[in-house]
Amino acid sequence: MTSPKTGPENVVEVELGGRRVTVPKGGLYDRYRMDTDLDEVARDPRVPGVDFFRALPKSEVQSAIGPTRTPNFYYSMSKAQITYLAPTRALRSRLPGELDPLQIAPGVGLFSVVFFRYDVCDIDFYTEATVGIAVRPARHGALGGTADFLAALSNDAMHAYVLSLPVNTEIAQVRGHDGYGFPKWVTPIDVEIDDHRTVAGVANDDGGVDIALDVATPRQKRVPSGTRVSTLTSYTQLGGGWNATLSQTNTLAVGSKLLPRDARLELGSGRLADDVRSLKPIRPLRFEVFTKCQNALHIPVPVSFPTK
């Protein structure tokens, strides 16, 4: 798999939230500005179908980057995720005071490192990586973190606070940082995922390795569209207040390993590597690869937290 060419002759400049960014000439964003024709997308051989998106009509909204249409659709993508056990003390040290780490056992919580490859989406091809801490829901009950964890597992619905989220295109950085409040910056990111191998790497400011992964892909199981849709709610600070961003993933092919021994993340030097080290990982709990999936990313909405 290779990324599309983005030389000067293949890009155009567009305005986004008062900033000028380049996008692929003739790409989905250049042609449709987030109001993508689903029938056109369905003709792309890389897209496994659009039924998931037809059930999620877009709406015009005002956002931190001006008027836009939401959700943002990812029609063909893949991702690899390593979920780690970590001491809640280390996790809490990296969280704002309003948030609490999700506990799966006394003193033990979770964080994840995820690599994404978006082959077809409303803002065109890009890659991304993240380090995020699993947290308790904003309006959680009084039964405690373990109850929240069991509820999240049964509903396939997690909540997270993102420490770092680099991308490899300008438009993804501006939309994610200015429009959603995520800690995004632009850097080279390579993500290659197929049925046999999962290879990913993020460059640091000097062009060296920040983090990297090279491992066999777990055996994939095909999933009918719409039968396994998970949600992730991410909390960010935007415009002086807290916001929640909902992400819905339609799984189409997935494989995983519990307590994996071979999913070893290479830690170099950089912001992602520093984040992972600061969380003092105990060991990987699960390695999961989605060779085929789709996603709908909704616009952030204000959220309040109980007074501690």
User: Is the omega angle on the peptide bond into residue 87 within 30 degrees of 0, that is, cis?
Assistant: no
pLDDT for position 4: 57
* Domains of the chain, each with CATH number or no CATH: 10-302 (2.40.400.10)
Of the candidate ranges 84-93, 136-145, 295-304, the one whose mean pLDDT is the lowest? 136-145
pLDDT for position 173: 98
Which pTM was predicted? 0.94
Dihedral-angle region of residue 66 (phi above 0 means left; psi in -120 to 50 means alpha; beta otherwise): left
pLDDT tens figures, 18-31: 899 999 999 999 99
Cα–Cα distance for residue pair 284/276, rounded to 1 Å = 12
Banded model confidence at residue 137, pLDDT cuts 50, 70, 90: very high
Q: pLDDT at residue 156 above 90?
A: no
Cα–Cα distance for residue pair 112/242, rounded to 1 Å = 22
Of the candidate ranges 65-79, 124-138, 140-154, the one whose mean pLDDT is the lowest? 140-154
Mean pLDDT of 273-287: 98
pLDDT tens figures, 174-229: 999 999 999 999 999 999 999 999 999 999 999 999 999 999 999 999 999 999 99
Contact 293, 79 (CB under 8 A): yes
Of the candidate ranges 69-78, 132-141, 187-196, the one whose mean pLDDT is the lowest? 132-141
Please, what is the average pLDDT of the chain?
A: 93
